[in-house]
């Protein structure tokens, strides 16, 4: 695996409410390692909202590409 990928939790789901889930594949371009992550947030009314939340975390903080 990759040290960068290890910084991203495999699952991040709110503990309450009804909401959608999304499965995303993230890839470390330096060694082509990848993994799938699951996200589910009550604040994300639409699946597209997940992209906004994850874009900042995955790309800006961890500097990884992600694919939906």
Helices then strands (H, E): number in the chain?
A: 2, 4
Torsion of CA 36, 59, 6, 50, to 10 degrees: -40
Q: Give the tens place of pLDDT for each residue, 4-52.
A: 888 888 998 888 766 778 888 888 888 989 999 888 877 766 666 666 6
**What is the count of structural domains for the chain?**
1
Mark whether 47 is an active-site residue: yes
Q: What pLDDT shows up at residue 63?
A: 61
Q: Which domain holds residue 60?
A: 3-66
Which tokens belong to 29? Answer: 């371009």
Which tokens belong to 5? Answer: 């990928």
pTM, 2 dp: 0.69
Is 20 part of any known ligand binding site? yes
To which residue do tokens 């910084």 refer?
Answer: 7
Q: What pLDDT shows up at residue 35?
A: 92
User: Which residue is catalytic, options 7, 45, 47, 61?
Assistant: 47
């Amino acid at each position: 695996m990759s040290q960068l990928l290890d910084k991203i939790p495999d699952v991040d789901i709110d503990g309450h409410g009804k909401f959608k889930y999304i499965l995303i594949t993230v890839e470390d371009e330096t060694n082509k390692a990848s993994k799938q992550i699951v996200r589910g947030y009550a604040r994300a009314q639409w699946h597209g909202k997940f992209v906004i939340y994850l874009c900042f975390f995955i790309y800006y903080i961890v500097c990884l590409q992600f694919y939906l």
